[in-house]
Chain A
């Protein structure tokens, strides 16, 4: 909590198979995933990944199944060894670490939350929450207070004596999060942490995570296949496809300027009004073209502005951040931003020009 850690991934390659180094040479020469499979019987997991995960931010790695996102997150704590590349944690290449240092890194710097919770079924909720600390050699007396506090914080007060199988899925994942928090590690790896939960519970857990993050400022690496979830949580969004980073950056930026048909397809179905924020579509500057109809916050969603305006596209709002004016928002521009930047291949939607009319 008091320390922060950043992660940098440099030129990371992962090839699965019997002779990965040989296959790597082909990959470097430009061979694709399907050719590599057909000609050399090796699976290309990750190709030339370069990602900076800044301290105190949530980096969401998103992709469909088989895109290599779970492989990527397992490289960060070396549950999977890369074929080539570097992984820097606080500037140190962890691939040079020996067994003891790696174990120390996993014990003190990192914690992990799993899709299927991965709790110890034979231990109580309290002992599960304190698992990371117990691994370091602490006794129950040492971690009990912290574990209880975090269990309370995630909404499981009074359940410490239960066993995992007595809890619902959502509650089990709360234990998983409490376990990660009790470890006090600055880095939290979350592998599809909310994917196995019901939609409503998932939203709850996302809110809980954002709330905790505001307080704790951990470096979180979050894996997701759900775009809405990714956009909600991400400070930095990395989109993976077939083991390649297709685009990365601020989520709003990706939404407004997708650079790949794959991403255009991806984002074509989401509710842009709910995801886009005023700051992404406003015009910076102090002089509004006409009388402002009111003020809106820079982090407000477009949806809330539309509700405020009552659907009137003629209005202009002053945009405030922390009470100071940072720009103005033209409702017409807002409406244009609601249309996907590039129409998908089959142009089933009206082109943007038709709207401005």
Chain B
């Protein structure tokens, strides 16, 4: 006797439902129900009302076998995904293959370049971005420390992955942001996707990706990192362009600029501080994700953290954590310094 029998009785659907099949595995609730003895009472049973279950799939299934159970739902979801997987791979594999190549190539370059070339090279990049001697001294110190404690190669792996992923985020994110700023429809359609990417727990990205790609391929973690980190650069590009002074845009139009001239000569330069802030966020988020991505074979400092957790090697975990913090501070300070320089160059006029 199930609670919702009456629904199917009154609708005359008893035949459609067929006999309850008890061949399938039981749910825990079924077992518990079997243990308890049903108390039949003639009067109104308050206890029964108190325990009235919601007409969920499982409850309805008890009354009518033709209704699927919740576990069938998840199972068919999985089956559906597996069914389209092969055709999806035919499309996605070639599209994403360059990502694998780029990651492998970057990891290789960073690995084979000797430290005494890599170090000055990185410092030169810092100089170009920030023009600050104190920052260079800090970066040099931090990298020297990583070299000294033999975490250098791991740190370089992490760094190379971040470089590739952040570069791709900017490459795709800025145009998407520009498209959003130009069309309200595009913005309305994109924002829910961005919200979803930002709120989904990071592990949830990994589940379908593991099914789609083999764990040995670098693009697996590459895609996870890009999906997670691309959001801020898109959002802030859109915001930055929309915030450009309306008067200046009007002047650009009054002097006969084409849409392209307006974009290149006015909107992007004036939105640059915001875009740079987005790039900073994107880089920081790639760093956060690259650690989690070591669960799916991303090399780098994350692997050491993971080892620390798995084997309860406290020291290994802490040391790798310190390395990640150092990398984070370096990346943040350098991009912030670049941002400050952009800001100084294009101060907004006083009105």
Contact = CB atoms under 8 A, between A and B. Distances in A.
A164 B254 contact: no
Which 9 residue pairs of A and B lie closest in terms of their CB atoms, listed nearest first? Answer: A107-B256, A106-B256, A118-B251, A122-B346, A118-B247, A112-B254, A165-B347, A103-B256, A165-B349
Nearest to B266: A120
Contact of B347 (A121, A136, A172): A121
Nearest to B261: A135
A274 B257 CA distance: 43
A112 B347 contact: no
B57 to A, nearest CB: 46
Interface residues of B, number: 23
B188 interface: no
Nearest to B251: A118
Contacts of A136: 256
12 contacts: A106-B253, A111-B254, A111-B255, A112-B251, A112-B255, A116-B247, A117-B247, A118-B250, A118-B251, A119-B248, A120-B270, A121-B349
A144 B345 CA distance: 22
Given A103-B256, A121-B346, 14 more contacts: A79-B250, A107-B256, A111-B254, A111-B255, A114-B250, A116-B247, A118-B250, A118-B251, A121-B248, A121-B348, A121-B349, A122-B270, A169-B350, A169-B351
A106 B255 CA distance: 6
B347 A163 contact: yes
A132 interface: yes
B321 interface: no
A86 to B, nearest CB: 21
A119 B245 CA distance: 10
B308 interface: no
A165 B350 contact: yes
A116 B269 contact: no
A77 interface: yes
Contacts of A252: none
Interface string A151-172: 0000000000001110001001
Interface residues of A, number: 32
Contacts of A107: 255-256
A114 B351 CA distance: 12
A189 B254 contact: yes
B54 to A, nearest CB: 45
Nearest to A183: B255
B255 A79 contact: no
Counting chain B CB atoms within 10 Å of each CB, which of A107, A116, A169, A189 scores highest?
A116
A282 interface: no
Contacts of B250: 79, 114, 118
A138 interface: no
Interface in B231-265: 245, 247-248, 250-251, 253-258, 261, 265
B351 A103 contact: no
B256 A118 contact: no
Interface string B218-234: 00000000000000000
B311 to A, nearest CB: 54
Nearest to A131: B255
Interface string B122-159: 00000000000000000000000000000000000000
B347 A132 contact: no
A20 B347 CA distance: 40
Contacts of A104: 256
A278 interface: no
Contacts of B265: 120, 134
B258 A121 contact: no
Contacts of A112: 251, 254-255
A196 interface: yes
A164 B251 CA distance: 15
A126 interface: no
A79 B250 CA distance: 8
Contacts of B254: 77, 79, 106, 110-112, 189
Contact of B349 (A103, A134, A164): A164
A112 B251 CA distance: 7
B243 to A, nearest CB: 13
A121 B351 contact: no
Contacts of B349: 117, 119, 121, 164-165, 172
Contacts of A117: 247, 349
A117 to B, nearest CB: 7
A134 B251 CA distance: 14
B193 to A, nearest CB: 29
Contact of A114 (B251, B270, B348): B251
B257 A121 contact: no
Contacts of B348: 121, 165
Contacts of B253: 79, 106
Nearest to A164: B349
A79 B255 CA distance: 11
Interface in B325-351: 345-351
Interface string B255-290: 111100100011001100000000000000000000
